Amino acid sequence: MLPKSILVKMLKPLLPKLEGFLTNNPNLTEGEQAKIMLDVVDGEINIIIVAIMTDSDGKVIITKVMQKMGADEL
């Protein structure tokens, strides 16, 4: 298995490109869009797919967590 630091460096440039596959996700409601977040805490890598929406004040809010994957699932 690859060291986690190398895995993070490999994943970061790929995540924005993968977001294009999430645009037609049936779990999204009107006004939502999906984003992929890379979360590294205490050396543990998690990829989280969230649905976000912009409210009337222009603030971006996370409306739901759609999927969470750890390094073991990659």
Domain ranges of the chain: 4-73
Antiparallel, parallel or unpaired: β 44-54 and 33-41: antiparallel
* pLDDT digit string, tens, across residues 12-69: 888 877 877 787 788 888 889 999 888 888 878 888 999 999 999 999 999 999 989 8
Quick check: 2 pLDDT over 70? no
CA distance 69 to 31: 25
pLDDT at position 15, please? 81
Confidence band of 1 (pLDDT split at 50, 70, 90): low
Give the number of other Cβ atoms within 10 Å of residue 36's Cβ.
20
